[in-house]
Amino acid sequence: MKSFSTEKLIQVGYRYVTQSQGRFYLYLAIFCSVLVVLDAGSVELIQGMKLKTFDVIMKSRVLFHAADPEIIIMDIDEASLSAMAKEYGRWPWPRQVFAEFLEILQEQKPQAVVFDILFSDPDVYNKDSDAYFNEVITDMPNTFFPMLRLSPSNDELSQITPAMIPGMSKIAGKPQKEKGLALVLPHFTSIIESGRMGTNNVYPDRDGIVRQYSIYREHHGWRIPSLPAKVGETLGWQLPSSQDVYVNWRGKFGAIHAVRFSDVFEDFLRQDRKRPSEEFTGKIVIIGSTASALFDTKPTPMAKVHPGVEILATAIDNLKNGDWITQAKNPWVFTALALGLIWLTALAFLTGVNRKAIDMVFAGSQVGLMAVTFASLNLTTYYLDLTAPIPAGLIYFSLARAYAYAEATLLEKYVWLNVEEGKEGWQYAVVVVVQPESLEEISEGRFLTLLKGGLYGKQVGFTIEGFPRKPAGLEKAFQNMFLIYWVDSHVEMKAWQAGLSGEQTLALVREVAQRICKPEKIGCKLGWCQGPLPYGDVTLRLEAWQQLVAKAMMNLKEQPVEIAT
């Protein structure tokens, strides 16, 4: 029963293949095209793959842009927390530590000092320390501080408006509204009055990985700058016009030059300092922490645990050197490329291009798209993401190739099907050998496909085979030969006798072959025979089949049917 069901399924599949005339490739192309258009809209079916591709290329780049030597991280690491705890206690330290540090650091005239520390609350146990820090900040115009942008859903609860905060800018052409803005501001008045503040929010993509850095956020006609943007604006850098930019990572964690805070602070307090007296002259010093105990980390393409201070430093480095990653965001450009790839592949299958040629060209297109994408991120700061067409084309190609293989298998096996167990008799069979005199003007694969396309739509039961892999010694004997056979699905029980089916089948083959050869002016001849194909006995069936093929080939030589061109 199992064998019967399998063969019946093959029978049904065969009938579909012979009657569809390649429409499967057309329907599949339409289906994949719909997926591509949906992905370009709001569905984003393959967005996750695009992000992972960016990560892989970014992490495996051959050419990284070197970190700017003028940017230094003053790292409050685990060792600093341990060393400073002896005199200043556990974190957070009294603000006088930073006040003393800033006063001595300013002697070296750094270009800027950027804090990655949010001083949001007063130190109620060290009011004098806070006052000292506030006073020091007032006299240091090259210091920058973070503020925290809360969720816009909290804006209605906030009494702070943009006009109250120095440093907020108006967006040209838009009306400014005094709507509440949910922010966590520094506690110190000298910081707020200076206006040298920016948000240090990091917004991961939906998979939780940080790939972009926010340059600014908008709020009812006001522009809220990020901390890197505020530094760049003050120092006169050319800033990107887009709201977010992809970070041009300098390498794995540790690529940005860092020094230990406790070592520098200890050296500052010595009378005979051992560190260079101009170590930070003209530098941008970023004070922050890589200590895991302070939980300021995010996953990035470069590391699963990437300290926030290095993310901030990399963003500042990008803006300073103008080499942030720009990515094309118009999805329809890549949609057109994906659709072109799908329909060119579909056209190749429909028109009978050699399967090996399709495989090679398609594989080459995929490698080419990846190579261009990889090169764009290595050689330029413009990320040309051509990976979007790859999954779309791969889906189409994989399904179309599987169908083509199944189609070939069904056609090859149909003649041997035995779908009615225990039944004996014979089936009417016609074998035709087609031999064009030359295939220089048209490929063997295309000739075979045109034969299939021409005959399958005219009569059910045709099977058509070429000889694409002829043994070297027999190549000339089987040169340019195509074997066509038609087996009637009806099993006869009476004695065999020749009928009109043979002449009718030969006429169909002749008509189709002439239609193929005439435009190319290719001469062609046919050899054919007809006879009974035993049903129910595989051995007798095989012997009869061999005799029919041999006789058709003999007739090709002795009694050829010529096709005029």
Q: Are 129 and 88 in contact (CB under 8 A)?
A: no
The least confident of 104-118, 171-185, 299-313, 322-336 is: 322-336
Do the domain assignments include residue 65?
no
Return the CATH number at 521: 3.30.70.270
| Per-residue pLDDT tens over the stretch 419-439 | 455 567 888 889 999 999 888
Bigger pLDDT: 486 vs 381: 381
- Judge if 365 and 445 occupy the same domain: no
SS3 42: coil
Cβ atoms < 10 Å from Cβ of 369: 21
| Mean pLDDT score of the chain | 86
Do the domain assignments include residue 64?
no
Rg (CA), the chain: 38
Do the domain assignments include residue 436?
yes
- Judge if 153 and 8 occupy the same domain: no
- Judge if 142 and 278 occupy the same domain: yes
* φ, ψ dihedrals at 419, nearest 5°: -90, -5
Residue 487: what pLDDT?
83
Residue 149 reports pLDDT greater than 90: yes
Which uninterrupted H or E stretch holds 19?
helix 2-20
- Judge if 88 and 172 occupy the same domain: yes
Bigger pLDDT: 535 vs 49: 535
Q: What mean pLDDT do residues 348-353 have?
A: 75
Q: What mean pLDDT do residues 384-394 have?
A: 76
| Per-residue pLDDT tens over the stretch 41-70 | 655 666 567 788 889 889 989 888 899 999
Tally of domains within the chain: 3
- Judge if 132 and 26 occupy the same domain: no
Q: What mean pLDDT do residues 341-369 have?
A: 79
**Of 348, 380, 410, which residue sits at a domain end?**
410
Bridge partners of 260, per DSSP, are 75
Categorize the per-residue pLDDT at 1 as very low, low, confident or very high, splitting at 50, 70 and 90: very low
| Per-residue pLDDT tens over the stretch 251-282 | 988 999 999 999 999 999 999 999 999 999 99
- Judge if 84 and 154 occupy the same domain: yes
Q: What mean pLDDT do residues 107-126 have?
A: 96
Do the domain assignments include residue 489?
yes
Residue 295 reports pLDDT greater than 60: yes
Query: Cα–Cα–Cα angle for 259, 264, 270, nearest 5°?
Result: 160
Do the domain assignments include residue 161?
yes
The least confident of 125-129, 225-229, 491-495 is: 491-495
**Of 322, 343, 372, which residue sits at a domain end?**
322
Bigger pLDDT: 4 vs 61: 61
- Judge if 115 and 258 occupy the same domain: yes
Residue 419: what pLDDT?
46
**Of 375, 410, 445, which residue sits at a domain end?**
410
Angstrom distance (rounded) from CA 27 to CA 262: 68
SS3 103: helix
Q: Which two tokens stand for residue 526?
A: 């046919």
Residue 534: what pLDDT?
87
Q: Are 455 and 516 in contact (CB under 8 A)?
A: no
**DSSP per position, 390-416:** HHHHHHHHHHHHHHHHHHHHHHHHGGG
Residue 457: what pLDDT?
63
- Judge if 151 and 127 occupy the same domain: yes
Hey, what amino acid is at 56? V
- Judge if 477 and 541 occupy the same domain: yes
What share of the chain in percent tops pLDDT 90?
Answer: 51
Residue 305: what pLDDT?
93
Categorize the per-residue pLDDT at 209 as very low, low, confident or very high, splitting at 50, 70 and 90: very high
Residue 115 reports pLDDT greater than 80: yes
Residue 3: what pLDDT?
47
- Judge if 389 and 252 occupy the same domain: no
Q: What beta strand segments (E) does 12-127 contain?
A: 71-75, 112-115
Relative orientation angle of helices 2-20 and 444-456, to the nearest 10 degrees: 100
Angstrom distance (rounded) from CA 334 to CA 326: 16
Categorize the per-residue pLDDT at 138 as very low, low, confident or very high, splitting at 50, 70 and 90: very high
Query: Cα–Cα–Cα angle for 436, 402, 407, nearest 5°?
Result: 45
Cβ atoms < 10 Å from Cβ of 26: 16
Do the domain assignments include residue 21?
yes
Bridge partners of 146, per DSSP, are 198
Do the domain assignments include residue 415?
no
Question: pTM value?
Answer: 0.70
Do the domain assignments include residue 251?
yes
- Judge if 542 and 441 occupy the same domain: yes
| Per-residue pLDDT tens over the stretch 76-101 | 999 999 999 999 999 999 999 999 99
Angstrom distance (rounded) from CA 411 to CA 461: 9
The least confident of 382-386, 447-451, 498-502, 558-562 is: 498-502
State the Cα torsion 85-86-87-92 to the nearest 10°.
Answer: 10
Categorize the per-residue pLDDT at 408 as very low, low, confident or very high, splitting at 50, 70 and 90: low
- Which residues span the domain enclosing 127? 71-322
Residue 40 reports pLDDT greater than 80: no
- Judge if 19 and 81 occupy the same domain: no
